[in-house]
Structure 1
């Protein structure tokens, strides 16, 4: 039924958690949610859909500071862009899963802020999602530092945290659109790679582009590779991990618990079977998308 709704309302979004966005109505079926823009629905349609797919709530939002409230109003509603002392800022989006009924947001916010060398603004959208706004300075938190903090958080607070780290950008007319795009990137990661704790634009772009290809065209484009490898899924997974590791054979062999010579044999076997030279940029990019297609099948 949800797939049918997504077809009927192509501007809808599908998520694991409803976002605190007043421009959408949220429908729930089991553990999935779909947000449909209110502007796409008549009053009769809204009433019918909410009756068929009732949702308890979209999560309570903790109290906000004056500045955080300005940012929330800008990002979620139609507010004005708040003034910032920095020329460039970035969004670090977060999503928390396995939350207990009584989530100590104040404690978690204090612990999170302590990680950053400079003051940051934390804006929760509901009890499990939000965004951190960081101004660019001489020292910024690194991906490695954030990953170490995640491990400590999971030990102290008993839940899982996922981050999407955006790029520093100059505030301007496209900032709100960038925010929405990055939100969709985080949701894509939560759906397709829930084991990943930290993701970036570079990590997710191939998957994002792959999902933009219509299914019928995917089936045609990758048909030959799928036919050759459908009985050797392990080979496709090996090549996928190898490309994800920037063609680093040592790192890939260690991650897959295999001898480097065995890995090289699989790489040569893949090139021989498919005719795709994954040692080139274009060959590696196409092969990676083909491996995503095999995973999907």
Structure 2
């Protein structure tokens, strides 16, 4: 097979071990325990996909941090000192790429992602799979909408799925490390609770985070009068949860659930009548949403 590939790609090279030259994709021939490196420029996306199916893709680019990124890495994950910065405030944009293949061109992805920002940012990779982007210009920060519009192109170009967690700006002080650690936990919750979401924020994650931090033995007691009603009617649970997620927008909810608006209103009124909880108020909606998460958890067991 190696000989055949050399005929198809005369510029390819062979070796007993793959190297870290990002210009090549390295494939392993299990029969000879040797490798062939094919120039990226000679491969189409379709060819890369086909080769990934036929061969173990062995090439992984070396993970390189700039000196400043290394300082942040040591501070955030080890016992390093907080790096000096002229900026007053920063925020962390966490990223994770759960389905990365060995042929993933991390350096190219990093450069493409950097180009999305109006100002220079600091990339701090922890591995080829995850890390943080540090942004220090609040007035020119990337918006959720801008990042969302770019994700489709990034995923298409690099054959990946990527998740971002957008943090909020905070003064640079030692407390910022605790913020980073908290946001890492929020990211982990979001990946479990909302695996389909590409961009998460604290506003989106806090309901799930709040529910998970309730003592497990207290949850059945707290939602006792509500969860049986929801368990008995799964469609009602989905309706109420979607309605709350849509900020009580009945028209949008009815459209998403392929339901007549009057039928939706009937279900909402029915829930309020049975439970005495008005989900059209903030407090009623927040409590009921936690109850829906509790029911989802019970059904997932």
TM-score range, shorter-chain basis? Answer: 0.7 to 0.9
Query: C-alpha root-mean-square deviation of aligned residues, in Å?
Result: 1.4
> Which residue is equivalent to 2:286?
285
Deviating runs (4+, > 6 A) in structure 1?
Answer: none
Give 2:20's aligned residue. none
After TM superposition, the structure 1 = structure 2 runs for residues 1-297 of structure 1, keeping only pairs within 5 Å, are: 62-297=63-298
Q: Distance in 1 between matches of 2:63 and 2:263?
A: 53
Contact 1:162–1:197 under 8 Å retained in 2: yes
Contact kept, 8 Å, 2:279 with 2:285, in 1: the verdict is yes
What is the CA-CA distance between 1:149 and the residue it aligns to? Answer: 1.1
- Contact 1:136/1:168 (8 A) holds in 2: no
Q: TM-score, normalised by structure 1?
A: 0.78
Per-residue deviation, residues 125-167 of structure 1 (Å, max 9, x unmatched): 1111100000024221110111111111111111100011000
Gap regions ≥5 residues in structure 1: 1-58
- CA offset digits 1:199-250 (Å, max 9, x no partner): 1111111111111111211011111111222120111111111111111112
Consecutive unaligned residues of structure 2, counting only runs of 5 or more, are 1-59
d(CA) in 1 for partners of 2:61 and 2:279?
48
State the aligned residue count.
Answer: 239
Q: Under a length normalisation based on structure 2, what TM-score does the superposition of the two structures give?
A: 0.77
CA-to-aligned-CA distance 1:233-285 (integer Å, 9 cap, x gap): 11111111111111111222222222222221211111112111111111111
Contact 1:165-1:199 within 8 A present in 2 as well? yes
Deviation per CA, 1:82-102: give whole Å up to 9, x if none. 111211100000010221111
Distance 1:271 1:107 in 2: 53
Following superposition, the deviation at residue 61 of structure 1 comes to 6.7
Largest Rg, 1 or 2: 2
Native 8 Å contact 2:163 2:197 kept in 1 = yes
Distance 2:256 2:87 in 1: 41
